[in-house]
Structure 1
Amino acid sequence: MRKRTSGFHLRSWALCLGVIGGASVRAQEAGSVYIQGSEVNLRGSASTDGEVVKKVLIGTECQKLEGAQKKGWVRLKCGKAEGFTLEKLVGADKPGLETLLAQAQDAAKSAKERLDAAARAATLDPQNEQASQLLTQLFFDVNFEQLAKDKKKGGLHESFLVVCNQSIMRSSFTHEECLTRELEKIEYDWHQLSIRDNRFVSAMLREGNLVVYTGHMKSRAKGRFDPDDDEFSVIVESRSSSTVSDALRNSLQKGARTSDPSQNKYSIIDDESADMPTLPPAAYQLLRSLPPVWYNLQEQSGEKFILVNCGVISGNVIRVDLHRRASIQTSDLPEGEFPRRVARIKDISKSDSTYNLQLCVTQKCQTSLTITWPTNEPSVSQWKTEPPDPSDGYYSTSKGAPNKIKVRDCNRGME
């Protein structure tokens, strides 16, 4: 994974832990001061790398002590704990709920400033419904603003195909429902998804962290987005995973979908299950360097060719889902309704021109596949599995296929 959580998202959560510079009153030289940030770290030294002694919530009264040798830092005693924090995170006046709510609704302020004010208000009074609603709304507003910037420049631009196959599902699903299904094919505690036009922000609590994806949906037809298409692309622009303040977590959870413990979200046809392996970042990037479609090559009298047998070609398709879980599907191309076999990719490495893949077949991860590409013939690759498989042999990429094609008509034989 290109380690770009857009950088921004981690900063977004930091807004819930601090105060934008200039928003608080400068600490007095002595006496009592009040914590202004929603949740402030009290550290063992005057450094952002210092050990966190205690987390102190907004509105807490602390005593300012002497001993802060570094400009911009103060030494405090909050209850029994003593430590250092940034001077801008404390002030002489106790923060007020009404003032913070007014700041969160002030259209003259930026969305980030309003988000910070809402986070402090929700932390100051966790039972205040207005503060909670404002915090959720502004969280998505800020992420959608950043998404627009990422889409123009600097985003991940990772494209994934989502198949909203109504004939298999035997029902009619909207693109929003299909996107939701794909996002939730992973273990999670709760999930809140916001879609505006064809853009989305997904916030999911997983293993104690807030996991956020942002991106947009795009029809396969260029230049337009057709909500009736059975297949559409999802372009992920950013990913992030971080700890989150209690205020933001509680606010987002109120409007979230809880995890579905049933197996209905998994497709037996695609050999999906809760324990599908997720590729490590480096392996994901390596897999993306391989072409997704490979045609099976036949060989006769030393000549390799693509055989179109009764209108179809045998081959393999490499697929990757939104959570970077990959599979190799052996199928007929153009693709038939169902793949003949699915193998999950657990990991991948490369040595020279050889790609080494660890595969899980029917949930048993005991198969390895080596793809040598390119070979002496630039458009041709050689596939070998261990233990050996009847599908082993030569394959051609979709973009570099040999020109030699033979057609076997079901009624007339080979041409």
Structure 2
Amino acid sequence: MKKTAPQPRLRAWASCLVVLSSALAWAQDADAAGRVFIQGSEINLRRGPSPKAEVVTKLPIATECQLLASVPKEWVRLKCGEAEGFTQKSLVGAAKPSFDALLAQALDTKASTQVRYDAASRAAALDSKNDKALDLLADLFFALAFEQLQKDAIKGGLHEAVWIQRKHSHSLGRKRTLEESFLWELEKIEYDWHQLRFRRGGFRGGFVSVMSRDGALVVYSGHIPPNAGKGEFGKDLDEFDVNIESRNSWAASEALKLALQKGARVPESGDTKYSALDNEYAGMPALSPAAFRLFRSLPPLWYLLHGKKGERHVLESCGIISGIKLSTDIHRRASFRSGDVHEVGEEPLTAMQITDVSKNGASYQLQLRDPEGRQSLFVLSWPTEELNVAHWDSKSGFFSGDYAVANARNIPVKENCTSDLGQ
């Protein structure tokens, strides 16, 4: 049987190859020839009676096989054409699967969403050109995803908060709306096609994003808080947060891919996806879950300190404050930005992508890489003996120094704005 995604929350709904044993009757009375049929959408025929055994071949639904033997732990030995191997007993049966019967089961609103989804998966595998089966499979896939999202939101979800910024679109000639900004952020990555659906509150509610990348399905689910776009800035809100509850990726069946691809978005030409100003590029590295957790534990904004120890202060010169910004996008791609972090209308002077984050005691190591592949290392010592003060150090010496957590109460800000105009 094809493996499901490794994440526990996906096992309930993600794999289109799952077959409920309660929905299939094992053929104790196989005919005299020992003939049985594959019942799952696609199964793995293995070298031995173990889910870890080598896969001999993959068999689609309704494949006719000869039953050779029944072995302990609910496995059977089959001969299917020239191939011979083992599969789970619940995945074969005496009756050949019927498209009409499976479609009727998928349409039965009295059955659970999981049972309906399994039936739709098998029906679509039998007839991948049937639009009704494909549409039903896609709808049930999202229905299961939203059911799981509701459970994750209560307990067990990632609960990752990501900030999305509204930016100007050159092709539109204006700032993107909140919805456009969210979609743009999701699609700011290489992909083949993308399906995005909202539930309960529309944009300000739950969402499930399914993207095809390199033959695999990448699925994000989460919530956009109901107050998005309703803050003190109203329609001019420049940032809003998105709460990610799950991230999953797995190789799905061709039937599910066909179902989800119908009506999906494809990459658009127009705006450049990646900003040269931010040193962004195709194939930017994403942090591992462990590195991402470390990165998120760090304050996102630091101000460069001036003065001696005990007389520390942040210097603000005509609205400009030098510092370091740490940020991450919705795809766990992290960036390090240094320079004038508070200059109105300008971006920080230097930006690099972070490839890894590790920690040793009170020392954080941030591995950085630019679009040309040049590597650099920043070491952050934090916390230190000074409250809300850290030391950033790089081998190159650039941007090394003591920095305070932004807006720390014990660190004063001194203004110094002079002009030579008229002199």
Alpha carbons 2:312, 2:412 under 8 Å: kept: yes
Question: Aligned-pair distance for 1:332?
Answer: 4.1
The equivalences for 1:8-47 within 5 A come to 8-14=9-15, 16-30=16-30, 31-47=34-50
TM-score relative to the length of structure 2? 0.88
Alpha carbons 1:166, 1:230 under 8 Å: kept: no
DSSP-derived class of the 1:328 partner: strand
DSSP-derived class of the 1:160 partner: strand
Question: Aligned-pair distance for 1:189?
Answer: 2.1
Question: Aligned-pair distance for 1:158?
Answer: 0.8
Identity of counterpart residues, as a percentage? 46
Alignment correspondent of 1:250: 258
CA 250–225 in structure 1, closer or farther in 2 if over 3 Å, else same: farther
Alpha carbons 1:331, 1:338 under 8 Å: kept: no
Alignment correspondent of 1:379: 388
For the residues of structure 2 that align with 1:373 and 1:17, how far apart are their CA atoms?
48
CA 262–44 in structure 1, closer or farther in 2 if over 3 Å, else same: farther
Question: Aligned-pair distance for 1:254?
Answer: 2.2
Say whether 1:119 aligns with 2:121.
Answer: yes
CA 364–77 in structure 1, closer or farther in 2 if over 3 Å, else same: closer
For the residues of structure 2 that align with 1:49 and 1:252, how far apart are their CA atoms?
30
Q: Deviations over 1:145-189 (max 9, x none)?
A: 111111111100111111012487732433332222111222222
Alpha carbons 1:396, 1:402 under 8 Å: kept: no
CA 164–222 in structure 1, closer or farther in 2 if over 3 Å, else same: closer
For the residues of structure 1 that align with 2:133 and 2:209, how far apart are their CA atoms?
21
Question: Aligned-pair distance for 1:365?
Answer: 2.3
The equivalences for 1:330-349 within 5 A come to 330-332=338-340, 334=342, 336-339=344-347, 340-349=349-358
Question: Aligned-pair distance for 1:222?
Answer: 8.8
Alpha carbons 1:36, 1:90 under 8 Å: kept: yes
Residue 212 of structure 1, aligned match among 212, 219, 223 = 219
Question: Aligned-pair distance for 1:393?
Answer: 1.4
Question: Aligned-pair distance for 1:232?
Answer: 1.0
CA 300–194 in structure 1, closer or farther in 2 if over 3 Å, else same: same
Question: Aligned-pair distance for 1:334?
Answer: 4.5
For the residues of structure 1 that align with 2:414 and 2:233, how far apart are their CA atoms?
37
Q: Deviations over 1:293-313 (max 9, x none)?
A: 111111158621122333443
Question: Aligned-pair distance for 1:278?
Answer: 1.7
DSSP-derived class of the 1:47 partner: coil
Alpha carbons 2:357, 2:367 under 8 Å: kept: yes
For the residues of structure 2 that align with 1:104 and 1:225, how far apart are their CA atoms?
47
Counterpart amino acid of 1:41? Answer: N
DSSP-derived class of the 2:180 partner: helix
Say whether 1:370 aligns with 2:372.
Answer: no
Residue 102 of structure 1, aligned match among 80, 101, 104 = 104
Alpha carbons 1:185, 1:274 under 8 Å: kept: no
Alpha carbons 1:354, 1:373 under 8 Å: kept: yes
Say whether 1:324 aligns with 2:326.
Answer: no
The equivalences for 1:139-150 within 5 A come to 139-150=141-152
DSSP-derived class of the 1:8 partner: helix
For the residues of structure 1 that align with 2:94 and 2:235, how far apart are their CA atoms?
55
Q: 343-352 vs 123-132, which deviates more?
A: 343-352
Alpha carbons 1:6, 1:155 under 8 Å: kept: no
Question: Aligned-pair distance for 1:100?
Answer: 0.9
For the residues of structure 2 that align with 1:329 and 1:241, how far apart are their CA atoms?
30
Say whether 1:156 aligns with 2:158.
Answer: yes
CA 248–228 in structure 1, closer or farther in 2 if over 3 Å, else same: farther
Counterpart amino acid of 1:371? Answer: L
Alpha carbons 2:38, 2:63 under 8 Å: kept: yes
TM-score relative to the length of structure 1? 0.89
DSSP-derived class of the 2:23 partner: coil
Alpha carbons 2:229, 2:237 under 8 Å: kept: no
DSSP-derived class of the 1:177 partner: helix
The size of the alignment, in residue pairs, is 406
Q: Deviations over 1:301-340 (max 9, x none)?
A: 8621122333443222100011111112235455632222
Counterpart amino acid of 1:368? Answer: L
The equivalences for 1:144-293 within 5 A come to 144-166=146-168, 170-196=173-199, 197=202, 198-218=205-225, 219=227, 229-260=237-268, 264-293=272-301
Counterpart amino acid of 1:38? Answer: S
Counterpart amino acid of 1:244? Answer: A
Q: Deviations over 1:347-392 (max 9, x none)?
A: 2222222212222245442322111112221311111222121x32
**Larger relative contact order (Cα-Cα within 8 Å, sequence gap ≥ 6):** 1
CA 379–225 in structure 1, closer or farther in 2 if over 3 Å, else same: closer
For the residues of structure 2 that align with 1:138 and 1:112, how far apart are their CA atoms?
8
Cα RMSD over matched residues?
A: 2.7
The equivalences for 1:291-330 within 5 A come to 291-300=299-308, 303-330=311-338
